[in-house]
Amino acid sequence: MGTPPQELSLRIDIAQPYVWTRSRQSLPVCANGQTPNNTFECDSGIGAFNQSASSSYYDENNWQRLIFLDYVWVNGTMSQDTLAFDQAFNVDINGSETRNLTVNEINFINANDSRVPMGGLGLSSKFDDSNNDYNTNFLDILKDQHVINSSSFSLYHKDDSSADLMLGGVNQDYYVGDFVVFDKQPYWDNRENKLVNDYPILPLSSLMVSNARGQTAYISTSNNTEPVLIDTRSSYNYLPYSMVVALAVQLNAFYSNDIDVWLLKCSITNLNATIGFQFGNVTVNVPIDEMINPAYTSSGNETLVFDDGEEACLLLVTPNYYFGYSVLGSPFFKSAYIAVDNEANKIAIAQAAKGNHTREQSSTTTDFAASAISSGHIPFASPNNITQLYTMRFDQSSIKSSAQPDMVTVSITNGEVFTGRVQPSNSSSMSSSASGGGVQLNNHYNNGNSVLGYVFSFITVVGLGILL
């Protein structure tokens, strides 16, 4: 970003349309020339932008306060500068290849304050808001500059260290099985009192748990189909309470009322089981090990253990009363390949291929099965079998039930998880463990070094020439 360029990292954010950065001047440790010892770096790696060091920076003198659907909020000024990606493979309409992508005079929000520490690269449809006077939508800008054919993208997660964001196209090498397209499910906007189709919302038909022997247990949604927001910023998955309880029973997970999480034995990964997310006629299977994280004591130095000595893990699926609606976050994304056509409000999904599928920077453009997305058409995608739209609504009644089933509850004392109905007799010990000796919980948003949290390591731009 800027001139001379400052190296930044931005989170991929498919649930909002804005490019935004954290202002270096707004972070006291950065403004004072100090180096933070955690959370973020000032000059590179995380994304604090020093506008004073950029000769091409322009302040539009227009204050913005934005609140996104996933409760991420941003306060800052509308700004303009140059944005460049140095790990990109670009093919223009004439078939010429370049190894970088530069977007001049892009409007972005330079934030003085935000709920999250890192800025974002927004890829959703443009919101109908007060920013219509500014060219703020990253994909629309690329289309206006004839870099891509339509406001669209696809997203492929290869492994924990590499992935591919393809602007304007899809790649058959990145998925296996059926690739099915859906209309974005509508969302009832309480603030505007209307239905909108701006968000990547899919109809979740059911869950299933399968083991290595081919046995499968199905978990239906409470109303047959549940609209779920696909959100790359979220580090958890949020589903209806009844589904979470049913899933916990299948995984032998236990609920801790003290810390409001579900715990299970980390050794469950030895079973090579999967959790299947069914969307009509397509299913994405996620390995169990992608759906759990180690649980640590509040000091962060020791892992939490069950009373039999086995290490405890956090189940990254939790009831949706946190949001008031259902969300599938980065644990789900690691196993899914999606393509989004913002102009026609379409989203296609498939099981992500695993292995050496990420495109190499070769000298030809014919060595990968890619095609450009046009408005209303996602290549290679087949129709779905969902016969109606399911509206997502913010449900204030979606609150935590006080009647937790005691058959799956646990207590935590001094870093140890006790199962069963018999509670420890030392009540003071239980109280202290919940506040100081309990579990170190993950944030609801990605703040670590997960590849899903950052701009992907390789960006491919499918230009108009692919259509010729």
pLDDT, one tens digit per residue, over 79-98 is 999 999 887 877 665 566 77
CATH number for the domain including 67? 2.40.70.10
Mean pLDDT for the chain overall? 79
pTM score, whole prediction: 0.83
What would the two tokens of residue 412 be? 């935590």
What would the two tokens of residue 175 be? 């998925």
- Is residue 249 located within the same domain as residue 327? yes
pLDDT for res 72: 84
Q: How far apart are alpha carbons 148 and 320 in whole angstroms?
A: 36
- Is residue 124 located within the same domain as residue 259? no
Question: What is the rounded average pLDDT of the residues 419-425?
Answer: 40
Give just the sign of the alpha carbon dihedral 233, 238, 239, 243. Answer: positive
Q: How far apart are alpha carbons 172 and 51 in whole angstroms?
A: 40
Q: Is residue 130 part of a domain?
A: yes
- Is residue 195 located within the same domain as residue 75? no
Q: Is residue 227 part of a domain?
A: yes
Neighbours of 242 (CB within 10 A): 14
The secondary structure of 75-136 as a DSSP string is: EEEEEEEEEEESSEEEE-TT--EES-EEEEEEEEEEEEEESSSS-EEE-SPPPSSGGGGS--
The whole domain housing 73 covers 11-147
- Is residue 252 located within the same domain as residue 281? yes
More confident residue, 401 or 273: 273
Judged by average pLDDT, the poorest of 292-296, 403-407, 409-413 is 403-407
pLDDT, one tens digit per residue, over 379-389 is 999 999 999 99
pLDDT, one tens digit per residue, over 264-294 is 999 999 999 999 999 999 999 999 999 999 9
Distances (CA, A) of 158 to 10, 49, 155, 161, 334: 19, 29, 10, 8, 8
163 neighbors 460 (Cβ within 8 angstroms): no
Flag whether pLDDT at 400 surpasses 70: no
Q: Is residue 159 part of a domain?
A: no
329 neighbors 237 (Cβ within 8 angstroms): yes
Q: Is residue 71 part of a domain?
A: yes
Distances (CA, A) of 181 to 89, 185, 353, 414, 455: 26, 12, 18, 49, 25
The amino acid present at 434, given as its one-letter code, is A
- Is residue 232 located within the same domain as residue 355? yes
Q: Is residue 460 part of a domain?
A: no
pLDDT, one tens digit per residue, over 205-247 is 999 999 988 899 998 765 679 999 999 888 899 999 889 999 9
Which of the listed residues 147, 181, 197 is the one where a domain comes to its end?
A: 147
The secondary structure of 4-47 as a DSSP string is: TT-----EEETT--BEEEEEGGGSHHHHTTPPPSSS--SSSSS-
- Is residue 129 located within the same domain as residue 189? no
pLDDT for res 443: 53
pLDDT for res 132: 58
More confident residue, 404 or 77: 77
pLDDT, one tens digit per residue, over 4-29 is 999 888 889 999 999 998 888 776 55
Q: How far apart are alpha carbons 306 and 123 in whole angstroms?
A: 42
Q: How far apart are alpha carbons 447 and 293 in whole angstroms?
A: 14
Q: Which is nearest to 316 in space by CA: 185, 157, 445, 410?
A: 445
- Is residue 128 located within the same domain as residue 217? no
Alpha helices in 295-364 (DSSP H): 330-333
Quote the percentage of the chain above a pLDDT of 70: 73
Which of the listed residues 117, 147, 177 is the one where a domain comes to its end?
A: 147
Residue recorded with tokens 């996602």? 378
pLDDT, one tens digit per residue, over 44-69 is 446 689 999 999 999 999 998 888 88
- Is residue 191 located within the same domain as residue 61? no
Q: Is residue 394 part of a domain?
A: no
- Is residue 204 located within the same domain as residue 336? yes
pLDDT for res 264: 93
124 neighbors 15 (Cβ within 8 angstroms): yes
Q: Are strands 175-183 and 206-210 parallel, antiparallel or unpaired?
A: unpaired
- Is residue 172 located within the same domain as residue 233? yes
What would the two tokens of residue 205 be? 């038909």
460 neighbors 166 (Cβ within 8 angstroms): yes
Q: Is residue 237 part of a domain?
A: yes
- Is residue 219 located within the same domain as residue 340? yes
Q: Is residue 468 part of a domain?
A: no
- Is residue 177 located within the same domain as residue 138? no
Domain total for the chain?
Answer: 2
Question: What is the rounded average pLDDT of the residues 357-373?
Answer: 57
